[in-house]
Amino acid sequence: MLKIFASYYKPHKKLFILDMICAFLMAAIDLIFPMVTREFTENIIPDGDMRRLYIITVVMIGLFIIRSIFNYIVDYWGHVVGARMEYNMRKDLFSHLQTLPFSYFDNVRTGHIMSRIVNDLREISELAHHGPEDLFLSTVMLLGSFILMLTIDWRLTLIVFVFVPLMIFFALTKRKKMNTAFRNVRRKVANVNAQVENSISGIRVAKSFTNEEHEMYKFEIGNREFKDSREFAFKSMAEFFTGMNFLSNMLNLVVISFGGIFIYNGYMNIPDLVAFLLFVNYFMQPIRRLTQFTQQFQSGMAGFERFVEILSVKPNIVDSPNAKELMNIKGNIKFDNVTFSYNEDEKVLKGIDLEVKEGKTLALVGPSGGGKSTLCNLIPRFYEVNSGSISIDNIDIKDITIESLRKNIGFVQQDVFLFTGTIEDNILYGRPDASKEEIIEAAKSANIHDFILSLPDGYETYIGEKGIRLSGGQKQRISIARVFLKNPPILILDEATSALDNETEIKIQKALEELSEGRTTIVIAHRLSTIKNADEIVVLTDKGVVEQGNHDELLEMEGLYSKLYKSQFKGYMPDEVA
């Protein structure tokens, strides 16, 4: 873990070394001041040597100016090192998240991921800057103070350092309790983030069901747990700082008391005691730094462990060593004895054998839960088949690079997702390097161009989060324009019109027919009127493929398809669907 953490310093090692050198020189200047004070009070002032007083004063002014420069470098560039490391870590984490399969996001809440990307990495950044600096400075200050204090009076030095283990034991014990408390706070805030993200995303559903009080109740549970954990953390923090201040005061009292005894017995003089007290104050800084370092280390490493935990999740869908680019695609798709399950307990698809000829349209129909969407998600390898194979143009999709595979497949789904931004941004997502003319052509093909021009800002119209300012049909047509711009040879339409009104459906169906022309197309539909003209229709249930043929052939079979068709047009509901 530490080796991985240290690797993030490598690109910034020059700045890091500069930070450490400046920190060392700051500590050295700090250690000079008590000795100068001792010299002033012991020799210069009693001797009336004003010339030396002026010279040393000017020298100390110069040293303090230099120290200020070092302090600026440590505070600014030291934090810059931490910020750049945080940037690199966040970049690595986000990049890694892009490689993870759908199954990972099926099981991990978005709010928890966001908490790790933002909150955890911020604490790691603080550790990256302050951790090595605090540890280094503490070591220098402790050793330097100990050596210089020995030169003043070894007896009082030993008394002070006998006190040190007690302070360190107390600090580490209370810090551990405080760290545990604050770690619990981070877990609770991640839960609150997840709850807020979930509630805000579903705010319209909550309002439509007048369930605002229920959402408040769910939020109140997490919010109260967060409050209680914060209160306990602050209690632990108060115990720590109160105890440390008490021990610090006691140490000063011990030094003054024993110093007074030693002066009385002639072992040391008043200038020695003044210098000693200054050293004791400097000496307290590294103890505070060390205890602060233990907190930062535990907090930062706890966040770093969660960071590494995500990075250690290996994508189970990757390019094979000999994977090749999918080029000059015809679009012939074949399923050969495909079996798939989301978990080990229940198979969603069992022994599926299907073939979609190039340029043809295959429609998938059947009861909900039969695996239609799952089947389509297997083609671009959003999920990996458990057994069997899927091939395109007689090439197993596992032997095709994932990027080229997905570039050749266009998805239009019922649940459209539009990114926050403008209409143009969302259409352009289909092919980011497309020209303005190509965007307009895609919008025309999707029958949305005239609507866009009717808006005050046209293609630059801001559509709100997830396209909230648009109707369902408008969002759907923008998503279709996006696929037109992508221009893939394989098209998958997953209930793309089922949630729309009849007038909008007719417009979108026309756009989809134009989009499907000359492409291998797989359509999932519950409205059977939309797939009557498909080249082939497959009825898929939890038992697998139960019927296959064109519309007329399936009606003649008088099987499940016929019953489904009659249920939509004659009000009859078959047992298999009811």
Does residue 364 sit within a domain?
no
* Calpha distance 465→200 (Å, rounded): 11
Kindly give the confidence (pLDDT) of every residue in the chain, 578 residues in length, as a single tens digit, with 9 standing for 90 and above: 778 888 888 888 888 889 889 988 988 888 888 888 777 777 777 777 788 888 888 988 898 899 999 989 988 888 888 888 888 888 888 888 888 877 788 777 776 777 777 777 777 887 887 788 888 888 888 888 888 888 888 888 888 878 777 877 887 777 777 777 777 776 777 777 777 767 776 776 676 667 778 778 878 887 888 888 888 878 877 887 788 788 878 888 888 888 888 888 888 888 888 888 887 777 677 777 776 777 677 777 777 888 888 888 888 888 888 888 888 888 899 999 989 888 776 778 888 898 889 888 898 888 877 888 889 889 988 888 889 999 998 889 999 998 888 888 888 877 778 888 888 988 888 888 889 999 998 888 888 888 889 988 898 988 877 777 888 778 888 888 888 888 888 988 887 665 556 666 677 777 777 777 888 988 888 777 778 888 898 888 888 888 888 888 888 888 888 888 777 665 544 444 43
Closest to 397 measured CA to CA, from 333, 339, 342: 333
Q: Are 527 and 534 in contact (CB under 8 A)?
A: no
Tokens read off for 309: 């935990």
pLDDT of residue 66: 92
pLDDT of residue 201: 67
Closest to 511 measured CA to CA, from 420, 410, 406, 431: 410
Does residue 351 sit within a domain?
no
Find the farthest-apart pair of alpha carbons in the chain and give their distance in angstroms, rounded: 121
Residue 396, strand partner residues: 391
Does residue 325 sit within a domain?
no
Tokens read off for 73: 């470098």
pLDDT of residue 334: 92
Does residue 530 sit within a domain?
no
Closest to 290 measured CA to CA, from 170, 123, 125: 170
Which of helix, strand or coil describes residue 395?
Answer: strand
Q: b/e for 459-480, b at 16 or more Cβ within 10 A? A: bebebeeebeebeebbbbbbbb
pLDDT of residue 577: 45
**Cβ burial, residue 400 (10 Å; 0-12/13-18/19+):** buried
Does residue 534 sit within a domain?
no
Tokens read off for 499: 């949630």
pLDDT of residue 575: 46
Note down the domain range covering 100: 2-311
pLDDT of residue 44: 78
Report the chain's terminal Cα–Cα distance, integer Å.
56
Does residue 349 sit within a domain?
no
Q: Are 541 and 548 in contact (CB under 8 A)?
A: no
Does residue 323 sit within a domain?
no
CATH number of 138's domain: 1.20.1560.10
Q: Are 423 and 452 in contact (CB under 8 A)?
A: yes
Number of domains the chain is built from: 1
Residue 349, strand partner residues: 340
Does residue 227 sit within a domain?
yes
